A and B are shown apart, each in its own frame.
Chain A
Amino acid sequence: MDKKNIIAIAAAVIAEEENIDVQEIRIISCHALSADSLQNYIASHGIEYKKYQLED
């Protein structure tokens, strides 16, 4: 069973238990949580920020 199938089964079970449409379930990784946290911090503090890239 690959990673996608495992996650799909888990999502299906959660949807059934929570009585919600499985299409509404979003899979968020801890990595994504950190990225969102950084973006939220930047937005909430009104910081002008652009990650330095090679073309800079």
Chain B
Amino acid sequence: MQEKWLNDIAALNKRREAAAAAGGTARIDKQHAAGKLTARERMEALFDDDTFVEINDMISARSTDFGMDKKKKPGDGVVTGYGKIHGRTAFASSQDFTIGGGSLGEAHAQKICRAMDLALANKAPFISINDSGGARIEEGIDSLSGYADIFYRNTISSGVIPQISVILGPCAGGACYSPAICDYIFMAENNSQMYITGPAVVKSVTGEVISAADLGGAAVHSAVSGVAQFVYPDDLSCLNGVRRLLAYLPQNNEDHSLIIPGKAVDRCSTLADIVPADPKKGYDVREIINSFADENSFFEVQPDFARNIVVGFARLNGKTLGIVANQAAFMAGSLDINASDKGARFIRFCDCFNIPILTLVDVPAFLPGSQQEHNGIIRHGAKMLFAYAEAVVPKVSVIMRKAYGGAYIAMNSKGLGADIVYAWPIAEIAVMGAAGAVAIIGKSAIDATEDPAAKKAELIREYNDKFMNPYVAAEHGYVDEVIHPAETRERIVSAFEMLENKAKTLPNKKHGNIPL
């Protein structure tokens, strides 16, 4: 009996070593030479030290077509398991490019699905690290079905557990749809690519010659397509970014974010110096955020895409909140298609995961023009309105400067369900700016006078005095309090404390039909 124990343990150790060897030393060296970590090294970097536990390390391909029985390796090109991140359980999969190019076959998909099922059942975040050549062609339709099984689980888990995709190598074809369904996508500048159709097929079908990086690299997806939300230089910094993001998030949709005490910051007495009273002059709204958020707590999401709106997580007295802010420094902070998509997605994520939302308003309009109209600003802009109206988390707005027309409504106005709305004394809450309004409602009077310029100036002054202030809105109950900018942090903290136990439900329905 003793001997059988020893023999069996020796056999177990041999199998474990084979699994840990991945694709072999040569392929591991090649991975490292490309500036990439191996699948298991990435897991070690992601999870708290000494907490990662691998599961299903011996699952291997069952297919025997095209010589698969000779090519198969334990693990089938993906490492899956669980561990702790900031002391809290999380699950992850990490594709192993050293085995079959990380290609996805039936067993590979089965492993990922097992880990996803465990994450959902245990109400913990799921992180997928992508580094794969795509579907394993030898396994045919079983590969495609494997992808479908993963996409199905991404969808069912959406809004229940945070799902994060980290692209640390190629991610091509249908494989892109799992990251696309996840909440956040991280990419590394030195090695990430995502595209539905690669450069070779693009060239053969359309004749266009384009590099992989220009077609679907990190810069493209972070700044142009809006597919990725976070970009870091390399694997290690990317995985650290994931750790940083998870520090702001709860484990699941029934949980609340960690309270992480930090240094309270209140530089709101300087806000009147940062924000020009002239509504035509720009400033960086991130300076506003950093004047009241806990020190170094603002973590911007998607900073390079739709820069006319700023979204991100911050802390106030250690508690996470989501911030949506018009960025006057870019396109005067107007809302366009991309900004509406970016804002709406962030608002809905916060609502999914019980993260209160603070909205900082300085918006002149939805961006006019045929390009916007023909590309559907109507339905894209509607996403912002829908997202805010649907959100049941505490919602507080601060109208800093301009708030005109439909864009004012879209930026968490009272009518859309804002719990508390503050306004600064320089706020202008109106259907439109004075010049535009007078051109319409004062046209007859201007045309009738001998001195149209003087009449126009007089009417603009009248309009400014009457409407371009926050007091009409305050008198009508659309603004709860007009505050001194120096009072901003104090008021925001007070409002969110008051709203801590907010409990609001929506009418019973399967789900709404947000314009897409």
A37, closest chain B residue (CB): B41
Q: Are B53 and A31 in contact (CB under 8 A)?
A: yes
Within 8 A of A (CB), among B25-40: 32, 37-38, 40
Q: Are B37 and A38 in contact (CB under 8 A)?
A: yes
User: Which residues from B are CB-within-8-Å of A49?
Assistant: 236
Q: Are A41 and B49 in contact (CB under 8 A)?
A: no
Q: In whole Å, how far is A10's beta carbon from the nearest beta carbon of chain B?
A: 5
Residue from A9, A10, A34, A47 whose CB has the most chain B CB atoms within 10 Å = A34
Q: Are B86 and A6 in contact (CB under 8 A)?
A: no
Q: Are A51 and B41 in contact (CB under 8 A)?
A: no
B234, closest chain A residue (CB): A47
A50, closest chain B residue (CB): B240
User: Which residues from A are CB-within-8-Å of B54?
Assistant: 30-31
Asked whether B44 is an interface residue with its Cβ less than 8 Å from the other chain, the reply is: yes
Asked whether B422 is an interface residue with its Cβ less than 8 Å from the other chain, the reply is: no
Q: In whole Å, how far is B483's beta carbon from the nearest beta carbon of chain A?
A: 33
Within 8 A of A (CB), among B240-268: 240-241, 243-244, 247, 258, 260
Q: Are A52 and B244 in contact (CB under 8 A)?
A: yes
Asked whether A19 is an interface residue with its Cβ less than 8 Å from the other chain, the reply is: no
Within 8 A of A (CB), among B7-65: 9-10, 16-17, 19-20, 32, 37-38, 40-41, 43-45, 48-50, 52-54, 57
Q: Are A47 and B236 in contact (CB under 8 A)?
A: yes
Q: How many residues of B contact A (CB 8 A)?
A: 33
Asked whether A13 is an interface residue with its Cβ less than 8 Å from the other chain, the reply is: yes
Q: Are B243 and A38 in contact (CB under 8 A)?
A: no
User: Which residues from A are CB-within-8-Å of B50?
Assistant: 31, 35
Asked whether B6 is an interface residue with its Cβ less than 8 Å from the other chain, the reply is: yes
Given contacts A30-B20, A30-B54, A34-B43, contact A9 B2 (CB under 8 A): yes
Q: Are A34 and B20 in contact (CB under 8 A)?
A: yes
Within 8 A of B (CB), among A1-15: 1, 6, 9-10, 13
User: Which residues from A are CB-within-8-Å of B241?
Assistant: 52
A12, closest chain B residue (CB): B6
Q: Are B52 and A38 in contact (CB under 8 A)?
A: no
Given contacts A30-B16, A34-B44, A41-B41, contact A51 B243 (CB under 8 A): yes
A9, closest chain B residue (CB): B6
Q: Are A54 and B247 in contact (CB under 8 A)?
A: yes
Asked whether B5 is an interface residue with its Cβ less than 8 Å from the other chain, the reply is: yes
User: Which residues from A are CB-within-8-Å of B5?
Assistant: 1, 6, 9
Given contacts A9-B6, A31-B53, A35-B50, contact A51 B45 (CB under 8 A): yes
Q: In whole Å, how far is A50's beta carbon from the nearest beta carbon of chain B?
A: 8
Q: Are A41 and B244 in contact (CB under 8 A)?
A: no
Q: In whole Å, how far is B472's beta carbon from the nearest beta carbon of chain A?
A: 46
User: Which residues from A are CB-within-8-Å of B10?
Assistant: 10
A24-49 to B contact mask, C-beta < 8 Å, 1/0: 00000011011101100110000101
User: Which residues from A are CB-within-8-Å of B49?
Assistant: 35, 51
Q: Are B6 and A37 in contact (CB under 8 A)?
A: no
User: Which residues from B are CB-within-8-Å of A41?
Assistant: 32, 37, 41
What 15 new A-B contacts, CB under 8 Å, besides A30-B20, A51-B45, A51-B240? Answer: A9-B6, A10-B6, A10-B9, A30-B19, A30-B57, A31-B50, A34-B20, A37-B40, A38-B37, A38-B41, A38-B45, A51-B48, A52-B240, A52-B244, A54-B247
Interface residue ranges, B against A (CB under 8 Å): 2, 5-6, 9-10, 16-17, 19-20, 32, 37-38, 40-41, 43-45, 48-50, 52-54, 57, 86, 236, 240-241, 243-244, 247, 258, 260
Q: List 6 A-B contacts (CB under 8 A).
A: A1-B5, A30-B54, A37-B41, A41-B32, A51-B243, A53-B86
